[in-house]
């Protein structure tokens, strides 16, 4: 099947890294995923094990605790998570997003202060952008960071919602308004050290329709004092910083969607060979063969584009338009293929614990996360 083929961007070193990641997830993730889904979050100890295996921040430089790799290593982690159908482990917000905000925009002191812990799993990170009244439209943020005259800190107030890793996060990169009248230029990124911070509160994990194992929470800030030394870049740099790294987040999501799509087709092929209908394998019905041919073709065509985007991102030539296209396309096709595959499973596919049902419900969020697909289309159109 296509999902097991060697990628066009995959070197021998990347292939060896993939083998290690695959074995680690089979041994340390798969046996626990059912429990994580029930408890609505992974075990903190898993982050430390993943850190020891080099799977948390593989594209962060060695001097800060990473592997010194590139986006190919991140892509491998996402593909192998998709291969086992696991949406519980929030590696993208932790390692592909937050760690790179620190690596790209942090001071040397900030990098050495936080990155080694993120790489080892001693620290867990979250990015807090979405608010109850503002999601993809980041200029509409209401969370306020106020610095009073002569103060050495900001006072942070407001609510962030739908925050992945919200329960476990030790550090939270918060996008806040430091100038209410400056639209995007009034946004600043602040690093909140969550543990034992007076004025920082978390909700219980949100009860979502899918992605049950990935803890998602609301975060509340009430006159939370954030030191000036926890600001990333200069005041007002936040919007440009977010626009710079959103492409990486969207590519991480696109890769995961592609892997889930391929896994859905594999599962359905296996089912169609084994399931008997009218004393014959389901595979012998023309409708089944046609549907699987359609799904496989969608997967192959999508894979070609995603692989091209991965190669471009590895060489720092991926455009924000192509990243938006990849996220939009892969998530839309995943939902389409997951629906067709579940239909071929019949009633067995509607049981919540079945792998195809989990792919189906986990797929739906991908069209929303990282920027809703309608906004992706708007961003794409602007460059046509």
At residue 49, the 3 state secondary structure works out as helix
Q: Is 122 a catalytic residue?
A: no
Cα–Cα nearest to 327, from 380, 382, 383:
380
111 φ/ψ angles, rounded to the nearest 5 degrees:
-60, -50
- Catalytic hit among 80, 218, 249, 296: 249
Cβ–Cβ under 8 Å, residues 131 and 189: no
CB proximity list for 145: less than 8 A, separation 6 or greater: 154, 155, 156, 174, 176, 177, 178, 188, 190, 226
Following DSSP, what letter does each residue of 147-182 receive, concatenated? --TT-SEEEEEEEEEEEETTTT-SEEEEEEES-TTS
**Angle 12-15-19 from CA coordinates, rounded to 5°:** 140
| Tokens linked to 137 | 């439209």
| Tokens linked to 218 | 């609301």
Give CA–CA dist 259/238, Å, rounded: 32
Strand locations in 244-355, DSSP E? 276-277, 280-281
End-to-end Cα spacing for the chain: 35
Task: Count how many residues are written for the chain.
Answer: 384
The residues assigned a catalytic role are 249
């Amino acid at each position: 099947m296509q999902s097991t083929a060697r990628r066009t961007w995959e070197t021998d070193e990347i292939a060896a890294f993939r083998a290690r990641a695959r074995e680690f997830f089979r041994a340390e993730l798969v046996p626990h995923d059912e429990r994580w889904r029930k408890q609505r979050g992974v075990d903190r100890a898993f982050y430390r094990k993943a850190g020891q295996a080099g799977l948390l921040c593989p594209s962060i430089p060695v001097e800060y605790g990473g592997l010194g790799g590139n986006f190919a290593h991140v892509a491998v982690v996402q593909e192998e998570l998709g291969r086992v159908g696991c949406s519980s482990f929030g590696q993208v917000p932790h390692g592909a997003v937050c760690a790179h905000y620190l690596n790209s925009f942090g001071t040397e002191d900030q990098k050495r202060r936080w990155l080694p812990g993120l790489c080892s799993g001693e620290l867990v990170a979250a990015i807090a952008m979405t608010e109850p009244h503002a999601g993809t439209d980041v200029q509409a943020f209401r969370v306020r960071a106020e610095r009073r005259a002569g103060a050495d800190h900001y006072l942070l107030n407001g609510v962030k919602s739908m925050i992945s890793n919200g329960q476990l996060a030790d550090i939270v990169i918060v996008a806040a308004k430091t100038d209410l009248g400056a639209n995007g230029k009034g946004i600043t990124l602040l690093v909140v050290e969550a543990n034992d911070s007076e004025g920082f509160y978390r909700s219980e994990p949100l009860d979502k329709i899918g992605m049950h194992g990935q803890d998602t929470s609301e975060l509340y800030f009430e006159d939370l004092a954030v030191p000036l030394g926890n600001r990333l870049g200069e005041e007002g740099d936040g919007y440009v910083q977010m626009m710079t790294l959103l492409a990486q987040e969207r590519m991480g999501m696109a890769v995961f969607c592609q892997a889930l799509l391929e896994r859905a087709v594999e599962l359905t092929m296996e089912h169609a060979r084994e399931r008997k209908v009218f004393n014959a394998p389901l595979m012998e019905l023309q409708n089944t063969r046609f549907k699987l041919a359609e799904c496989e073709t969608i997967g192959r065509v999508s894979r070609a584009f995603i692989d091209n985007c991965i190669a471009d991102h590895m060489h720092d030539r991926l455009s924000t338009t192509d990243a938006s296209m990849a996220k939009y396309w892969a998530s839309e096709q995943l939902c389409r293929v997951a629906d067709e595959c579940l239909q071929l499973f019949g009633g067995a596919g509607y049981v919540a614990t079945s792998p195809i049902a989990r792919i189906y419900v986990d797929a739906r969020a991908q069209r929303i996360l990282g920027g809703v697909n309608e906004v992706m289309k708007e961003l794409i159109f602007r460059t046509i």
